Amino acid sequence: MASEAAAHETADNKAEHDEIVLGLLQSVERNGTQSQRDLASELGIALGLVNSYLKRCVNKGLLKVQEVPARRYAYYLTPQGFAEKSRLTASYFAHSFSFFRRARANCETILAEAASRNLKRIVLAGASDLAEIMTLCARDYPLTLVAIVDPKSERKKFAGLPVVRDFSEVETFDAVMITSIDTPDAAHASAVAAVGAGRVLVPELLKLRREETALPRAVAGGSR
């Protein structure tokens, strides 16, 4: 189990690394003269990390750097950089399609379980791609998705559902499905605190620890 978890962590780290490199190469291709601070803001990462990745890309021959007026630097993609951007783009789309297939299968499983337990009104915990896929799949099941709880989201609606900050803002519901991708552990803990473990459903792909997601079936059902 430990080696499997380490493998997943390594894969996740590589995916994150590749996503940053791809975003950096795409941004430099569009505008290689923008400041590192602007790059950090666009990519949503720390300024120091942008500096580290720029140096790494230059050392690997993906970017070349040139001094420009006002003591600034401009970055340009090399032929190797263009080739790497194309490779990472293809890999990104392949990964996205693979994620969609896995997520859809997971959503079907969770929704079927909810229907079998007669859980009619469902709240999603986390505004994410997974929540969007869940809303698409839910149309085929005798249940209603009533809202998305996401304390970090600034949206009022997502995937056609109202977004609120806390479970107390939803009038009645029977269960919570965890759809947070960035912080599934925190979303799960919050949901359990709100409704109890027996009414929290977790897609397998989120890979929460088994002891955290064990559901006492006898507690299933009922309305808040």
Q: What structural domains and CATH numbers belong to the chain?
A: 2-77 (1.10.10.10), 101-219 (3.40.50.720)
Q: Are strands 200-201 and 175-178 parallel, antiparallel or unpaired?
A: parallel
Q: Which amino acid is located at 93 in the chain?
A: F
- Three-state secondary structure call for residue 48: helix
Look at 222 and 34; give whichever has higher pLDDT: 34
pLDDT for residue 218: 30
Q: What is the 3-state secondary structure (H, E, C) of 127-189?
A: CCHHHHHHHHHHCCCCCEEEEEECCCCCCCEECCEEEECCHHHCCCCCEEEECCCCCHHHHHH
- C-alpha 46/C-alpha 23 separation (Å) is 14
pTM beyond 0.85: no
pLDDT for residue 219: 32
- Read off the pLDDT band of 12 (50, 70, 90): low
Query: What does the mean pLDDT of the chain come to?
Result: 86
Q: Write b or e for each residue in 157-175: b if 16 or more Cβ atoms lie within 10 A of its Cβ, otherwise e.
A: ebbebebbeebeebeebbb
In tens, the pLDDT along 173-192 reads: 999 999 998 889 999 999 99
Q: Which residues contact 221 (CB under 8 A, 6 or more apart)?
A: 117, 118, 119, 174, 199
Q: Write b or e for each residue in 192-203: b if 16 or more Cβ atoms lie within 10 A of its Cβ, otherwise e.
A: bebbbebbbbbb
Q: Which amino acid is located at 36 in the chain?
A: Q
